[in-house]
Amino acid sequence: MSNIVNEFNEYRTKMNEVILSKENLVIKRLWNLDTNTYAAGALDVKTKELLGLVASMVLRCDDCIKYHLGKAHELAVSTDEMYELFAVANIVGGTIVIPHTRRAAEYWEALQEG
């Protein structure tokens, strides 16, 4: 697995542990709820992950994008599908989304090579 993927996952795991160790109940419950949000329901898991990803892109949250790219990769989203999602994000959010698309594209390549 590529370096930038490992680095992201390791930092994320380490800091999540620090945060959860403080036993703040609201944060703990929000994080549980976050997991439930993407469970299969009327919409399937893949559609929900794509929704989470495009929302993260237009809000320009690089780490959120990486997380959902990882999930989309596990769900076998194709590169053509991914770039159509990137297109929606760029059209809705404008050219300020382009730098985040560059980093998303880099991470997506790393996931393919992993």
Binding site for a second copy (CB under 8 A): 11-12, 15-16, 18-19, 22, 24-27, 29-31, 33-34, 36-38, 41-43, 47-48, 50-52, 54-64, 78-81, 83-99, 101-103, 105-106, 109
Amino acid at 76: A
CA distance 67 to 49: 10
Cβ(77)–Cβ(46) under 8 Å? yes
Distance CA(91)–CA(21), nearest Å, equals 40
- For a second copy, give the closer residue by CB, 1 or 19: 19
CB of 114 to a second copy, least distance (A): 16
